[in-house]
Each structure stands twice: as C-alpha cells, then as structure tokens.
Amino acid sequence: MPELVVTALLAPSRLSLKLLRAFMWSLVFSAALVAAAIYGCIAFTHVLCRPRRGCCGRPRRTPPACLSDPVLGEHCFLTLQSSGLRLHYVSAGRGKGPLMLFLHGFPENWFSWRYQLREFQSRFHVVAVDLRGYGSSDAPRDVDYYTIDLLMADIQDVILGLGYSKCIIVAHDWGAILAWNFSIYYPSLVERMVMVSGAPMSVYQDYAIRHIGQFFRSNYVFLFQLPWLPEKLLSMSDFQILKTTLTHHKRGIPRLSPNELEAFLYDFSQPSGLTGPLNYYRNIFRNVPLEPQELATPTLLLWGEKDIYLEQGLVGAISSRFVPGRLEAHILPDVGHWIPQSHPEEMHQYMWAFLQDLLE
C-alpha cells in the first residue's frame, strides 16, 4: 500500500490521540493548580503556627548515627553501565544466598528497609539501594533523566553489576511501580517479587479512571507536576509536610523515632534534595494512555487495609491481570501504607513462607 495512503488512513487516529493527550494534560494541570492552592494553605499554616522555623527547610549538616549502623550492612557505590551514574547501596550477607534487592518509595531512602536488612541477611545477599536522585546516589536535575525506561535500566545495571543473573525484588510504593514494569520487560532477571503498597502503572491508570476516589487519594501527584513550587512547599517550616506524612499518629509510621525521621529528612534537606524524587512524578503521565499488560512473575502482594493513598480495590484489579497461580495477595487488617516499617514482623512471616522453597 502506498505510503501516502497509509498516512492518510492513520491521520484520524493520530489526531484523536493528540486531542486525547491535550485534554488529559489540561485536566492534569487544572488539578495541579487546585492542589497547589490546597497545599499552599497547609504549608503557610505550618509557618504561621511555627514562625521560628521560617519559610525554608533547615539543611542538616551531619547525618544521624542510625544511617551508619554497621548491623545493617556495608555502604558501597556502583557505577551504572548504561548511564555512568553512581548509585549508593547498603549490602549485607554476600555469599549466603540469592540476591534480594530492595527498592524504596517516596519520601524514603534505603533506610526504610532497615528491618528487612536485619531479618534476611542470614540467608540472602540483601541490597538496599538509594534510587537515582535519592540520598547519596547521583541526582541529575533535569526531569528527562527520570523516565521509567531509564529507571528500569538502573535496576538492570544494579543486578548485573553485582554479579547476578536474577534476583528477588522487594519493593514498596514507587519502588513497586518500577519493579512491576521491570518484571514485564526484564522477566529473565526476576525470580520472585514481593510487592508492597504499589500497583502497576497500567492497572492504576485503568482503576483510577473508573474510581474517582483514587484520584482524591493521590491528589499530591498533581501538585508534583509543577516546577519548583512543590519543592518549596514541602520544605517550608522545616519540612513540616514531610514530617506530618511520616509521623502522623494515624496515617504515618508508628513508633518512628526522631533519629529515624532525621534519616529521611537529612537527604531531602541537602541542596536540590527534593528535585530528583519529585521528577519521578513529573514523568508519570508521559506515557499515558498505557496498554493493559499481563503479569506472570511469581509475586507476593501485601496491602494495608487502611492505606490512605491506595484503595483496596486495586488488589483485585492487579489480580485480574495475573497469570493464574502466580499471585499470592494479602490485605493486612488495620494496617496503613508503610508496611515494611510499621508491621515488619507480619511482612517477614509472609516473605519467609513465600520464599521457603528457594532455600530448600
């Protein structure tokens, strides 16, 4: 068929897609402006209630002692083959079993896996990374350095750079989003997955379109589409919005000590410490709409019944995409979003049972 005829036949579809994208972005930025107004009021209220803290975040000059706890493992750096960037990671148990790779979420870093590093280093080589843009890892400022494709290449480079051909991935929140995608495009590198409080992007997209309540739970995603303003609002009154997120008595991490809180705030308080993490969100709508994808990697999925950011219905939506028999899903009663830190004992019990056959 002549090229001109093909182009003419495809023109209506291409135009429809462009119009759909334009409409989507108009909605996204409208929602971003509304979210900015709401979070702006919250941030300024914190400033008024705590005037001595001022409008800026206080840079931390010394990392808290818990970040250098030798029980958690050795601090190392790996230069990635694809990008040349250096990623920081904490490693323990090398030579004791398969690679167990931990991928954190936002607003966290490698330290969010402290309980799991202690628990599993006796039978696995446990590695918790600071993802690109976080902590001591390299943090390019441009948003184009944080696409899903580049972030998945980082995971591939870590696995291969550590000398392994496959691994067990344990991931939470944004780490889970990356891990779901990684298991689809690099299935040979993933033996098992433990996914906590995070859905595949295509599942989240389809579910949120049909359940408007999920959009309200994820309102911060729209704020983060804007340049520079989210960094400013999150840092006001010495990062009070982040402090509230992590320590709230109902929605935060139970029993999080001041020292442990500082383990997260230390990184975000450094120059441009929030820009890299927020750039993950600024790329989240880049590939919308997404096609449904079948999930086949053997996976343990843990979800909190009282997760305020993600609805329980997403568990059923995830299950519907799985090859039968490959998913083991559990909704933990009276548990929120931060399962690896709030309920590590329950998480560990499920993990040991799920991985037992690999150790026999």
Which residues are marked as active site? 173, 281, 337
Angle at 280 between CA 92 and CA 255, to 5 degrees: 55
Beta strands in the chain (DSSP E): 74-79, 86-92, 99-103, 125-129, 167-172, 190-196, 299-304, 327-332
Length of the chain: 360
The rounded distance, in Å, linking the Cα atoms of 15 and 23 is: 12
CA within 13 Å, CB half, 224? 20
> What pairing do the DSSP bridges indicate for beta strands 190-196 and 299-304?
parallel
Angle at 337 between CA 59 and CA 27, to 5 degrees: 80
Host H or E run for residue 17: helix 3-49
* DSSP 8-state code for residue 322: B
Neighbouring residues of 2: CB distance < 8 A, sequence distance ≥ 6: none
* DSSP 8-state code for residue 183: H
